[in-house]
Amino acid sequence: MGRTHSNAFLQTPRYFDVPYEPVLKAVCARNADRVKSFAANWGYESIETDWRALVARKDIDLIDIASPNDTHAEIAVAAAGAGKMVSCEKPLGRNAAEAEQMVEAVETARVPNTVWYNYRRVPAVVMIKELIDQGKLGRIFHYRAQFLQDWTISQDLPQGGEGLWRLDVGVAGSGVTGDLLAHCIDTAMWLNGSIAELTAMTETFIKERKHTLTGKVEPVGIDDASAVLCRFQNGSLALFEATRYARGHKALYTLEINGEHASARWDLHDLHRLQWFDHRDEGKLRGWRSIHVTDGDHPYMKHWWVPGLQIGYEHTFIHQFADFLSAAAGNQSASPTFRDGLATDYVTDAILKSAKTGRWERVTASATATAVKAVGQQATV
């Protein structure tokens, strides 16, 4: 994600009229040689090998967190405490308790913030949001989403360490629920409102794996697969599924929403297309339309190429950064804010709890939530 974000920092002012010119002052990672070569490749002026030194620097306005999940809370709280703007990768915290501390820190410091749930910035997904907000779907009955991968099926794959921290529950917080399903939940709540209650199953198919850092075979604490049935506050029903055991799928994020008048469907493997069915079309011509979301009047597309030429994954980060800079100029945050990221963590916590208890769980703020005051809660864009 360091590359994805650096690309966004460089490209944003070239394509969007933004109120700030980003200056790549410093990049931080633990290995000095590797971070030097990263800095040279992307044009950072300097390096740090301890994030605390980065946060202490007076010449830096924004701290961007693109490191593993166990680092998010500590860095974000320190950065907000130092008065920096903060952008953070998802999931916001390893759990809601961590995310609550992060929300409190940015809201107390009143610093602009955002969480990189980038799928909210896919033009076809933004179009679904616009169509829902315009009432074109009518009453919503169903929402369903899947995020499927297949890269952890081998039982010889170790857990932990570089590239494999996602399999170590201490670092990741959870498995596919916080990693993949969190994306689905964030988009779903943006499009369809809050989730009221849910029941879930999770499974850890491979129970023990060698740990890269200790060299020992250790129990696996993450969920390999997660299946969720839930009810939104608006009364619609939903199904969510995430797994890293769906052979043949590398990053298949799909979503569909069914309303009284129309349905919309989107697929990350075809991200520039919106599938749309409108029952109000003339009967004999009624059918699913595949809309190529590349015209100048489609969301964000006037900043890119001529109609018909598509964009990709990296552009979603450019869009989010452009929105973030515009908001920050008015000391506002860009959605999803840390508070929105916390809302997703409440849902993923409830999923993991339901998988343990075998019961339906209501999605509520955790016991410590009352400690989070809506101090200086900011308007969002």
- Residues contributing to the site for ligand NAD (CB under 6 A): 1-2, 28-30, 51, 66-69, 71, 89-90, 116, 118, 163, 179
Smallest distance, Å, CB 19 to ligand NAD? 24
Q: Which two tokens stand for residue 373?
A: 């005051």
Q: Which residues touch 133 (CB under 8 Å, ≥6 apart)?
A: none
**Per-position b or e across 279-310, b if 16+ CB within 10 A of its CB:** eeeeeeeeeeeeeebbeeebbbbebbeeeeeb
Smallest distance, Å, CB 312 to ligand NAD? 13
Closer Cβ to ligand NAD, 168 or 241, answer by number: 168
Phi (first) and psi of residue 142, to 5 degrees = -135, 150
Smallest distance, Å, CB 129 to ligand NAD? 18
Closer Cβ to ligand NAD, 163 or 312, answer by number: 163
Q: How far apart are alpha carbons 172 and 190 in whole angstroms?
A: 24
Closer Cβ to ligand NAD, 44 or 276, answer by number: 44
Closer Cβ to ligand NAD, 17 or 162, answer by number: 162
Smallest distance, Å, CB 304 to ligand NAD? 20
User: Please, where are the H alpha helices in the chain?
Assistant: 2-15, 32-42, 51-56, 72-81, 96-109, 123-133, 169-172, 176, 182-192, 313-329, 338-357
Closer Cβ to ligand NAD, 63 or 350, answer by number: 63
Smallest distance, Å, CB 71 to ligand NAD? 5
Q: Are the C-beta atoms of 346 and 365 separated by less than 8 Å?
A: yes
SS3 call for 194: coil
Q: Are the C-beta atoms of 227 and 352 separated by less than 8 Å?
A: no
Smallest distance, Å, CB 109 to ligand NAD? 21
Smallest distance, Å, CB 237 to ligand NAD? 27
Closer Cβ to ligand NAD, 64 or 241, answer by number: 64
What stretches of 117-224 adopt beta strand conformation (E)?
A: 140-148, 195-203, 208-210, 217-219
Q: How far apart are alpha carbons 293 and 257 in whole angstroms?
A: 18
Smallest distance, Å, CB 175 to ligand NAD? 12
Closer Cβ to ligand NAD, 1 or 206, answer by number: 1
Distance spanning both ends of the chain, measured CA to CA: 23
- N residues, the chain: 381
Q: How far apart are alpha carbons 124 and 298 in whole angstroms?
A: 8
Closer Cβ to ligand NAD, 167 or 355, answer by number: 167
